[in-house]
């Protein structure tokens, strides 16, 4: 289905439903998606509910909305996410959220959680000037988080077309860490179309964070250019985690656009997991309810 036809159909469907996304406790309708359905991330072996919580809303210099709300409120939000069924959490050195997750989820078995983090190699973004190699950085991550392994580690905000050559040493180090069991999977978070295309072709890439919505908002290119690349990612057996689904909240005010964006990520891009940042438990409930309105076909 072409993007223009998809948007028209999705908008008509939303209007016909006069839909209200409230009511997180309601079960999904037959033939609809479920935010908390267990889905394998490509061929990584990571099997967790499809809704992944991002912790880096308005993130940078190891601060974000989650850290700025204070530990009590942050812990309550993380616990509310877990209690609702979220098991995968997206952290990053950039966000400063490493020390929050397991402190908030005391008593939860480590095997019940998917902990993902991202390494920042670009200039700026974090306080230090130095950019140590990935093995040094991952060792620090483990201490900060309080775990002996990470489920997914990614190279954060990759934009260069030749990132594979530029970061070859880090790629090799992460592969060694995977072979040792320190990390279970590795990949990249892409922020340009050439970088995304390179990730699709690279056998090393286990999983990709890709910016996906039908409106091209805060994406690496138009939806028409990005969609074939993410389809190649899926065809190669790589994990596909859809981010910027709601354009950092800019599409969330319109129920029709929200539903269209979720439908696009799930049925057109066929993303394995949906990565969304939340500032409240009510936002989690609302998105979960919206996902239940998305038909599988």
User: Residue 140's pLDDT is what?
Assistant: 98
Over the stretch 77-133, which tens digit does the pLDDT of each residue have? 999 999 999 999 999 999 999 999 999 999 999 999 999 999 999 999 999 999 999
pLDDT at 3 exceeding the cut of 80: no
- Compute how many other C-beta atoms are within 10 angstroms of the C-beta atom of residue 18: 7
- CA–CA gap between residue 283 and residue 276 (Å, rounded): 10
Distances (CA, A) of 190 to 39, 73, 219, 250: 22, 30, 10, 20
User: Residue 195's pLDDT is what?
Assistant: 98
Strand partners, 119: 155
- Tell me the whole-structure pTM to 2 decimals: 0.92
Over the stretch 190-231, which tens digit does the pLDDT of each residue have? 999 999 999 999 999 999 999 999 999 999 999 999 999 999
pLDDT at 141 exceeding the cut of 60: yes
Q: How far is CA 214 from the centre of its chain?
A: 17
Over the stretch 10-43, which tens digit does the pLDDT of each residue have? 443 433 322 346 544 567 777 999 999 999 999 9
Over the stretch 242-269, which tens digit does the pLDDT of each residue have? 999 999 999 988 999 999 999 999 999 9
Distances (CA, A) of 148 to 104, 110, 118, 183: 17, 10, 16, 9
pLDDT at 144 exceeding the cut of 50: yes
Instruction: Using alpha carbons, select from 279, 282, 268, 296 the residue that is nearest to residue 57.
Output: 279
- CA–CA gap between residue 293 and residue 259 (Å, rounded): 8
User: Residue 22's pLDDT is what?
Assistant: 53
User: Residue 9's pLDDT is what?
Assistant: 47
User: Residue 19's pLDDT is what?
Assistant: 31
Six-digit token string for 219? 């994406």
Domains of the chain: 3-10+32-291 (3.20.20.100)
């Amino acid at each position: 289905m072409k993007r223009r036809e998809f948007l028209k159909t999705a908008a008509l469907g939303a209007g016909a439903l006069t839909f209200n996304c409230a009511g997180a406790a309601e079960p999904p309708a037959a033939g609809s998606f479920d935010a908390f359905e267990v889905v394998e991330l490509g061929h990584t072996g990571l099997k967790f509910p499809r809704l992944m919580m991002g912790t880096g809303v308005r993130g940078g210099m190891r601060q974000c909305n989650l850290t700025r709300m204070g530990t009590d409120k942050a812990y309550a939000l993380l616990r509310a996410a877990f209690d609702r069924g979220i098991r995968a959490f997206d952290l990053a050195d950039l966000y400063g959220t490493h020390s929050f997750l397991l402190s908030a989820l005391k008593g939860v078995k480590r095997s019940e959680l998917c902990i993902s983090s991202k390494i920042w190699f670009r200039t700026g973004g974090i306080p230090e000037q130095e950019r140590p190699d990935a093995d040094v950085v991952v060792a620090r991550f483990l201490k900060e988080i309080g775990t002996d392994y990470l489920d997914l580690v990614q190279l954060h905000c990759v934009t260069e077309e030749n990132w594979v050559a530029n970061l070859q040493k880090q790629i090799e180090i992460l592969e060694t860490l995977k072979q040792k069991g320190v990390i279970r999977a590795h990949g990249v978070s892409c922020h340009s179309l050439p970088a995304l295309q390179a990730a699709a072709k690279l056998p090393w890439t286990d999983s990709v964070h890709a910016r996906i919505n039908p409106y091209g908002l805060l994406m690496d290119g138009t939806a028409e250019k990005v969609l074939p690349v993410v389809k190649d990612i899926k065809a190669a057996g790589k994990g596909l985690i859809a981010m910027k689904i709601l354009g950092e909240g800019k599409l969330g005010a319109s129920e029709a656009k929200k539903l269209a964006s979720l439908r696009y990520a799930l049925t057109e891009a066929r993303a394995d997991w949906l990565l969304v940042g939340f500032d409240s438990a009510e936002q989690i409930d609302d998105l979960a309810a919206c996902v239940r309105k998305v038909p599988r076909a």
